Amino acid sequence: MTFWKRRGQVAGRQQATELNKSIAQLVNTSGSMYYESNAASGFDFISEGQALMNERQGLKTDRCYILNDRSTQKFGTDLAGRQTLQGRPADTWTTGQIGSNIAEFDVYTGSFLPQVAASSGSTTTTATFSGKPEGGGVSASFIVTNVDYRTADIAVTASAGFAVGDKVTFSNVNAVGLADKTDTGILMTFTVVGIPNGTSVTIFPKPIALGDAGLNITEKAYANVNTQIVSGATMGAVNTTGGRSNLFYDNDAIEVLGGDVPMQLMGEFDGMKVISETMSNGLNMYMVYDSRLDDLRLRYRLFTWYGLTAKDPSRMGVSVSI
């Protein structure tokens, strides 16, 4: 029984690893915040993410910062050599970890973080974009229509120089604080999530401009940029160097949707047995197994169902240490 218990534990860890990889890939390709930094100090590097998130004034719950192994080594070396922080240098010497609650983040290390491809993409827009908040609707015949409020299609001269996952800015379009609409003075970053054709790109999040005269006062309450993307504006990629990613996000920005299936019905067929357990991440894991008396073979399968969505890409970001 110890052997099978260990096999189950290994399978569970592997499924958790796959979930971590899926979340990392989602943040890498969907997160709208981005910066590249050559800071040698872990605090300087991580606090840039804090500044971006605080300036944009998004909903704050629990924040995570996941460093790749090389970034952890770089910043851990800096911390381990310090003598001014009580206890933390010694902890870093022992564990190689930087610690928790740094610049409002719980900091982790992940070997599963993806690469950020370098991009030199640049183009110009061919139309002024006016975006407003949208929701779903219900028709008179009770047909529900859902609207993806996160995306915007931007008309450009040519989209060939860009790829899904590129982080881009538009000239003169700055991020504003969601609560008080203060202009941060920092260009708003967007992520390319689709390339419908050769003359348009789809970006996260939808730019809603405080200075858009076509919006009413209620719609302007959702503004995330100071001014509209106008025709002739320069659109350029900011992931110019690329490299191994580090990820930061608010936990509430990502939704993990678990699935339930009536696997207990398998017990009605050919002597199969079914057990299930809720894992620490809230997902259900199922184990279906059976055996043969004539050759003492035991067969089993472990599995879980889940889906991911970037509920709020404006509270997800990517960084690269260069």
Query: Which of the four pLDDT bands, split at 50, 70 and 90, describes residue 4?
Result: low
Chain mean position to CA 29? 7
> Is it the case that residue 210 has pLDDT exceeding 90?
yes
Q: Tell me, what's the pLDDT at 1? A: 57
Q: How confident is the model at residue 294 (pLDDT cuts 50, 70, 90)?
A: confident
H-state helical runs in the chain = 2-30, 42-56, 69-80, 88-95, 217-220
**What is the b/e burial string over 37-75, where b = at least 16 CB atoms within 10 angstroms of the residue's CB?**
eebeebbebbbbbbebbebbbbeeeebbbbbbeebbebb
In the block, residue with structure tokens 């659109």: 235
- Give the contacts of 278 (CB within 8 A, at least 6 positions apart): 284, 285
The model's pTM is 0.80
Q: What is the DSSP string of 60-80?
A: -S-EEEEE-HHHHHHHHHHHH
Higher pLDDT pick, 5 / 135? 135
> What is the pLDDT, as a whole number, of residue 96?
42
Average pLDDT over residues 147-169: 93
Domains of the chain by range and CATH? 2-116+244-252 (no CATH), 122-240 (2.40.30.240), 257-309 (no CATH)
The pLDDT value given to residue 153: 96
What's the pLDDT tens digit per position in 223-274? Answer: 999 999 999 999 999 999 999 999 999 999 998 888 777 777 777 766 677 8
Ramachandran angles phi, psi of 46, nearest 5° = -70, -40
Q: Note the pLDDT of residue 224.
A: 94
pLDDT at 136 over 60: yes
To the nearest whole percent, how much of the chain has pLDDT over 70? 88
Per-residue pLDDT at 80: 53
Residue in the block written with tokens 């022992």: 94
DSSP letter (8 states) at residue 229:
B
pLDDT in the model for residue 94: 43
Assess whether pLDDT exceeds 60 at residue 306: yes
Mean pLDDT in residue range 156-173: 96
**CB-based contacts of 261, cutoff 8 Å, min separation 6:** 286, 305
- pLDDT at 67 > cutoff 50: yes
Confidence band of 285 (pLDDT split at 50, 70, 90) = confident
How far from 300 is each of 54, 80, 294, 309, CA to CA, in Å? 48, 47, 17, 30
pLDDT the model gives residue 82: 55
Q: What is the DSSP letter of 314?
A: G
Using the predicted structure, report yes or no on whether residue 127 has a pLDDT greater than 80.
yes
End-to-end CA distance of the chain: 49
For residues 187 and 148, the model is more confident at 187
Read off the pLDDT of residues 73-113 as tens digits, 9 standing for 90 and up. 888 766 555 555 554 544 543 444 555 668 888 888 888 89
pLDDT band for 139, please (50, 70, 90 cuts): confident
Residue among 251, 249, 236 nearest 319 (CA)? 249
Listed residue (219, 199, 200) closest to 209, CA to CA: 219
Q: What is the pLDDT of residue 270?
A: 63
Neighbour tally for 176: CB within 10 Å: 25
